[in-house]
Amino acid sequence: MSVAASPAVSLQIDEQVERAVRIGLGSRPKTLPPWLFYDAAGSELFEQITELPEYYLTRTERAILESHASEMVALAGGGNRLRFTELGAGSAEKTRVLMKAALARQDGLMFEAVDVSATALLAAQARIEREIPGVRVALLEMDYTNGFELDACDAGERRLVLYIGSSIANFEPEEAARILRKLRSQLGAGDGLLLGVDLVKDESRLLAAYDDVAGVTAAFNKNMLVRMNRELGSDFDLAMFEHRAVWNETMSRMEMHLESCADQRVRFAALDWEVEFLAGETIHTENSYKFRSGDAEAMLAEAGFAHAGTWTDKRGWFEVCVGKAEKLGLGTRE
């Protein structure tokens, strides 16, 4: 079917993509926002990344959750029933251990999965409802960075927001703070936030995790070019860009870039637009901040969450923190 056959649908999606691309590739240095990774192919590539030997994040966080899920859930719930709301849920693979821990304390569990990728969400819903009896999955296809509203919980129920996988690391510190404050404003006192963050470690480990031998991360990064070619009619030649992973010590973040192999010009047929690249010039596609012990607790405190607990793995590579929404100050509305 041609794109023109369903103009309303394709236009709405393309407008956001087009805007982001025009702004990003029109800037100096050139940038593209990481949410552009996650079309269907990109979400699938990310799932493959989580299984790479070099990509320690997912399996390290899973090990922390497996060792401490009951404790985390008990701290968050107190004497109340819990409802889970996961930001950037994706396949919700690691969440299953927390679901099982919750189901050991209560009958049934409401799981609200928030993600920008509908395909990832649908697959997660089917699997979870089939494999973990008692869990009801509600899908919220939205970009949680642009302000969102959550339904009120039932009486006697508390919400535990799961923000795991070091997803918050994609945002600059001020933006991350804004997202957490916004989230806090959607919660009631006593609701919980479980935050997973990746920690600073040996540079060689970090570099390997973002530049794997099999080249899956390179394909994930270049998927942005594939996506623009498909959705915006551009003519990026994938062989003319190289995947680069860089540790930025000063900013405490891993960066991913796509580096132009030559002076070249890329044409966007659908936009009647051209972009020039110099040899060695890069498109900065992602920041992945790495934290130090105490950083996550400070972020939580600044957003209005009281620290309830922190867990790490034995190598100290990754950290999971639970905070509880504090009563808001006088003059504010709960």
Q: Which residues lie below 8 Å from residue 146, measured CB to CB, with a gap of 6+? A: none
Listed residue (110, 157, 98) closest to 135, CA to CA: 110
Between 255 and 281, CB nearer to ligand AVJ: 255
Distance between CA 275 and CA 280 in Å, rounded? 15
SS3 163: strand
* Residue 166 engages ligand AVJ in binding (rule: CB under 6 A): yes
Is residue 115 within 8 A of residue 37, CB to CB? The reply is no
Which CB, 60 or 217, lies closer to ligand AVJ? 217
- Burial classification of residue 274, based on how many CB atoms lie within 10 Å of its CB (0-12 exposed, 13-18 middle, 19 or more buried): exposed
Residue in 85, 117, 145, 288 binding ligand AVJ, rule: CB under 6 A = 288
Q: Alpha carbon 48 to chain centroid distance?
A: 15
Interacting residue with ligand AVJ among 210, 268, 291, 305 (CB under 6 A): 210
170 lies in the site for ligand AVJ, by CB under 6 A: yes
Residues 49-88 that bind ligand AVJ (CB under 6 A): 49, 57
By the rule CB under 6 A, 320 interacts with ligand AVJ = no
Name the residue whose CB lies closest to ligand AVJ.
288
Q: Which of residues 10-49 bind ligand AVJ (CB under 6 A)?
A: 49
When the beta carbons of 14 and 141 are compared against ligand AVJ, the nearer one is: 141
Give residue for tokens 């404003």: 185
Determine which residue in the list 217, 223, 234, 260 makes contact with ligand AVJ, applying CB under 6 A. Answer: 217
The least distance separating ligand AVJ from the CB of residue 124, rounded to whole angstroms, comes to 15
Q: How many helices (H) and strands (E) does the chain have?
A: 9, 13
Find all residues with CB under 8 Å of 226, minimum gap 6, and list them: 41, 236, 238
Size of the residue set binding ligand AVJ (CB under 6 A): 11
| 282-289, strands of its sheet edge to edge | 30-31, 282-289, 253-260, 241-248
Nearer to ligand AVJ, 169 or 321 (CB): 169
Q: Which stretch binds ligand AVJ (CB under 6 A): 75-83, 144-152, 160-168, 233-241?
A: 160-168
Convert residues 116-145 into a mask of x (bound to ligand AVJ by CB under 6 A) and - (unbound): ------------------------------
Contact between 187 and ligand AVJ (CB under 6 A)?
Answer: no
Spatial neighbors of 4 by CB under 8 A, at least 6 apart, are none
Contacts of 139 (CB under 8 A, 6+ apart): 113, 118, 121, 122, 125
Residue 167 sits in the site that holds ligand AVJ (CB under 6 A): yes
Interface contacts to ligand AVJ, rule CB under 6 A: 49, 57, 165-167, 169-170, 210, 217, 286, 288
